[in-house]
Amino acid sequence: MSWTQRLRVAMRYTFALGRGHLSAFLSTLSMLGLVLAIALLIIVLSVMNGFDKEMRERILSLVPHITVYSTDPLSDWSALAERLKAHPNVSLVDPFAEFDALVMHGRDIETVRGIGLFSDQSDSFTILSGYLQPEEAERYRDREDGLILGAGVARRLEVNIGDQLVLISPGASWSGNASSTRFQSVTLSAILETGTELDQAMALVHLPLASRLANIEGRVSGFRIGTTELFDVQRIGWELMDSLPPGHYTSNWMMTHGNLYAAIQLSRSLISILLFSIIAVAAFNVVSSLVLVVMDKQGNIAILRTLGASSGDIAWVFVIQGGMIGFVGVVLGSIAGALGSIAVPGLVASLEKLLQIRFLNTDVYPVSFLPVDLLLRDVVAVGSVAFAMCIVAAIYPARRAAGLAPAQVLSQDH
């Protein structure tokens, strides 16, 4: 048999549309199993990629990669900032002051983590202002008592832009000694909604005001450092400490968010293994389907052998059939998975709106929406593995078909 003849026979066994053939029915079931398994795996991988991307590009763009602290507040910090900027892997250095406070509106009180930054020369504020309307950022810059509040805090306090609030900083000094409680009236200039956990506790004010509330008047708490090597912050932190005088120490994002990032990576790996096993089950379904096809087509196989087809020809017919099932399943499954990945965020948002509930909330999850990042390499990897499994799965039925004895089969028919 020529390859054209082998292909034609395999297509008849696979796509006998509208003829009620058992072989076509079994092939269709096998294809549907592959389509569902591949589509599901691509959708889940895209969601996990989305969490990974949001972690790297959104959350880690808002929090400092490295934070440099000092045992005492820094007064002459400009020289230290220049020393930090000299490191080849440091992309930004911003002084900051931080404090814990209560924010009060009427009788409502919420706890916040206060951060003070320069609004005119801070790269960190420039990144944060990307989540604000230009007029909101300008309104904040124009007011010395301006306050930017996380959206979660603003919702709990039921405040709007322009409202007057009071920041209450506990009575403690940098050294830990008791001091008078500090009260500061501020104006809500903007509400920051990043879709991350920062929305639940952040209060951003100008650096001089934060310095007063932190009881380090005119000084700063440390530096927020951005790096070009996101996953090498431990080494960079040690090198920065070596370049600074004694009395300084660092923390990095791996200490604060590293467990979350590791959990996302572990979840992605475990889910991938689980769903690839589903594809393996679908491929096993190809084995059972083709074995049944061989049993159904014993007479046809015997006739082909008597007409001159070799056992190798028969084996190739069923290997080709397995490849056709795999190819169609991979193509349709990849298309369904890609379309499903694109549609999932909208479907989840619509379902949340319909049911009036939030599936993802930054009180628990790192982001408040379902992120999706569809990658071509995932589609290719899933499709290649599924197709290879179908080819391998077709080998046993093909060998079984090739081993049929034509005389015995034909004698049974009579």
> What are the DSSP calls for 95-161, one per residue?
EEEEEEEEEEETTEEEEEEEEEE-SSS-HHHHHHHTTS-HHHHHHHHH-TTEEEEEHHHHHHHT--T
pLDDT score of 403 more than 70: no
- Domain-located, residue 241: no
Whether residues 25 and 100 share a domain: the answer is no
For residue range 337-375, list pLDDT tens digits in order: 999 999 988 888 888 888 877 777 666 666 777 888 898
Whether residues 289 and 179 share a domain: the answer is no
* Distance between CA atoms of residues 373 and 55, nearest Å: 12
Predicted TM-score (pTM) of this structure: 0.73
Domain stops at, among 227, 244, 272: 227
* Distance between CA atoms of residues 393 and 282, nearest Å: 10
71-94: average pLDDT: 87
* Distance between CA atoms of residues 197 and 357, nearest Å: 18
- Domain-located, residue 77: no
Whether residues 320 and 409 share a domain: the answer is yes
Give, for 413, the enclosing helix (H) or strand (E).
helix 406-413
Phi-psi category of residue 108: left, alpha or beta, with phi > 0 → left and psi -120 to 50 → alpha:
beta
Q: From the CB of residue 18, how many other CB atoms can be counted at a distance below 10 Å?
A: 6
- Domain-located, residue 140: yes
Whether residues 327 and 398 share a domain: the answer is yes
Q: What does the pLDDT read at residue 280?
A: 79
Report residue 71 as tokens. Answer: 């045992």
Whether residues 402 and 268 share a domain: the answer is yes
Give long-range contacts, CB 8 A cutoff, 24+ apart: 77-81: 77/219, 77/220, 77/223, 80/223, 80/244, 81/223
Whether residues 173 and 220 share a domain: the answer is yes
Whether residues 292 and 385 share a domain: the answer is yes
300-315: average pLDDT: 72
Residues 139 and 145: beta-carbon distance below 8 Å: no
Name which residue leads in pLDDT, 18 or 111.
Answer: 111
- Domain-located, residue 214: yes
* Distance between CA atoms of residues 358 and 352, nearest Å: 6
Q: What does the pLDDT read at residue 21?
A: 65
pLDDT score of 108 more than 90: no
Least confident of 16-25, 175-184, 316-325: 16-25
Least confident of 12-21, 104-113, 179-188, 201-210: 12-21
pLDDT score of 19 more than 60: no
75-102: average pLDDT: 88
386-392: average pLDDT: 85
pLDDT score of 300 more than 90: no
Whether residues 282 and 407 share a domain: the answer is yes
- Domain-located, residue 248: no
pLDDT score of 129 more than 60: yes
For residue range 326-343, list pLDDT tens digits in order: 888 889 999 999 999 999
* Distance between CA atoms of residues 272 and 48, nearest Å: 10
Whether residues 158 and 272 share a domain: the answer is no
pLDDT score of 320 more than 60: yes
> Radius of gyration over alpha carbons of the chain, in Å?
32
Residues 362 and 54: beta-carbon distance below 8 Å: no
Q: What does the pLDDT read at residue 331?
A: 92
Q: How confident is the model at residue 18 (pLDDT cuts 50, 70, 90)?
A: very low
Contacts of 377 (CB under 8 A, 6+ apart): none
For residue range 140-184, list pLDDT tens digits in order: 888 888 999 988 889 899 899 988 999 988 865 555 555 678 888
370-395: average pLDDT: 87
Report the percentage of the chain scoring pLDDT > 90: 10
Domain stops at, among 212, 227, 242: 227
pLDDT score of 64 more than 60: yes
Contacts of 206 (CB under 8 A, 6+ apart): 116, 117, 118, 119, 144, 146
- Domain-located, residue 247: no
Give, for 66, the enclosing helix (H) or strand (E).
strand 66-74
Whether residues 286 and 223 share a domain: the answer is no
- Domain-located, residue 168: yes
Quote the DSSP letter at residue 244: S
Residue type, 184: Q
Whether residues 106 and 31 share a domain: the answer is no
| Domains in the chain, number | 2
- Domain-located, residue 368: yes
Q: What does the pLDDT read at residue 336?
A: 93
Question: Which candidate, 210, 195, 29, 43, places its Cα nearest to that of 117?
Answer: 210
Q: How confident is the model at residue 406 (pLDDT cuts 50, 70, 90)?
A: low
Whether residues 277 and 221 share a domain: the answer is no
For residue range 241-259, list pLDDT tens digits in order: 888 888 888 888 888 877 7
Q: What does the pLDDT read at residue 178?
A: 54
Domain interval for residue 323: 3-58+260-413
Report for 56-65, 248-257, 399-408: range of highest mean pLDDT: 248-257
